[in-house]
Amino acid sequence: MNGRKEIIGPCTLYLGDCLEILPGLGKMDALVTDPPYGVLLGETKNGQERNKNRVPYAGFSDTPEYVRDKVIPAIKMAMSKTMRGLITPGTRNCFLYPFPDDMGVWFDPAGTSIGRWGFVLSSPILYYGKNPKPFKESGASSVYGKRDRDKEIQKLHPCPKPLAFITWAVNKVSLEGETVLDPFMGIGTAGVACVNIGRRFVGIEIDEGYFDIACKRIKAAVAQGRFDFEEPESRERTCAGT
Ligand SMILES: C[S@@+](CC[C@H](N)C(=O)[O-])C[C@H]1O[C@@H](n2cnc3c(N)ncnc32)[C@H](O)[C@@H]1O
């Protein structure tokens, strides 16, 4: 059922199509998102897939057309609501994205998938807007880390990102107390990361099954109670420069 809104601690979660929900949201600080890659995930052995047992997404077909017609317009809208952004677009369709201000990679030596020219050992990271941290504190723009092999998490979603990587990404692009937006939230890994390191979070997910799992994971993180959140100041600038 579309149209649900859940508020869990510092997180506001929406069930529905982000293209429909984003226009009604106010300004936020940073975008951290991992949209569908448009690789026919789990649908065909020609998809950019490594794990033959991986199932397709529930609710939509992961095609390049979906990236062009749904994901890119949603990304542009999300960028108009935020000051900066970090996106993991996958390799196959990353050139459909708006030209970034900088790039990095997430390097996984064990391989993330199979590409047309061999095993894919890294995923691009696209940066938009201005680095919020002084250069000395900001560290590298790329990161080394292994895909999450947690079998329980892998059963919940076709391609969850490792919590360690998403925590690095949230920390990279936002400051403590800021609000982070993920319009392609999946099972809420970015929300868990935000709760753990003291950010507010706004997440949107189109599939009710994944949405329910996100609510559960974020509730569990909030229950650990690591942060008291104060009201954020309003901010006006956006990473799309509007
Ligand atoms: C690559 S997954 C994100 C996984 C996430 N990083 C995690 O660790 O759980 C992309 C997610 O976007 C969702 N999605 C696809 N189209 C959407 C749309 N139009 N609005 C909101 N969510 C959408 C999919 O259902 C999927 O769960």
For residue 185, what pLDDT is reported? 98
Q: How many other C-beta atoms can be found within 10 angstroms of the C-beta atom of residue 15?
A: 23
Structure tokens at 25: 């949201």
pLDDT digits (tens, 9 = 90+) for 156-177: 888 889 999 999 999 999 999 9
- CB-based contacts of 60, cutoff 8 Å, min separation 6: 36, 66, 70, 206
Structure tokens at 41: 């995930």
For residue 132, what pLDDT is reported? 97
For residue 52, what pLDDT is reported? 52
Of the candidates 48, 38, 155, the one whose C-alpha atom is nearest the C-alpha of residue 111 is: 48
pLDDT digits (tens, 9 = 90+) for 31-55: 999 999 988 766 655 545 444 556 6
**Do 91 and 124 touch, CB atoms closer than 8 A?**
yes
Separation of CA 181 and ligand 1 centre (Å): 13
Annotated domain spans of the chain: 5-223
Res. 77: pLDDT tops 90:
yes
pLDDT band (50, 70, 90) for residue 11: very high
Res. 27: pLDDT tops 50:
yes
Residue 182 CA: nearest ligand 1 atom is: 6
pLDDT digits (tens, 9 = 90+) for 176-204: 999 999 999 999 999 999 999 999 999 99
If you average pLDDT over residues 48-67, what whole number do you get? 70
Separation of CA 132 and ligand 1 centre (Å): 26
Separation of CA 178 and ligand 1 centre (Å): 22
For residue 225, what pLDDT is reported? 81
Euclidean distance between CA atoms 219 and 150, whole angstroms:
20
For residue 51, what pLDDT is reported? 47
Q: Whose Cα sits closest to atom 2 in ligand 1? A: 186
Residue 161 gets the label, from left (phi > 0), alpha (psi -120 to 50) or beta, of beta
Euclidean distance between CA atoms 157 and 168, whole angstroms:
21
Task: Kindly report the CATH number that applies to the domain delimited by 5-223.
Answer: 3.40.50.150
Structure tokens at 12: 């506001």
If you average pLDDT over residues 75-102, what whole number do you get? 96
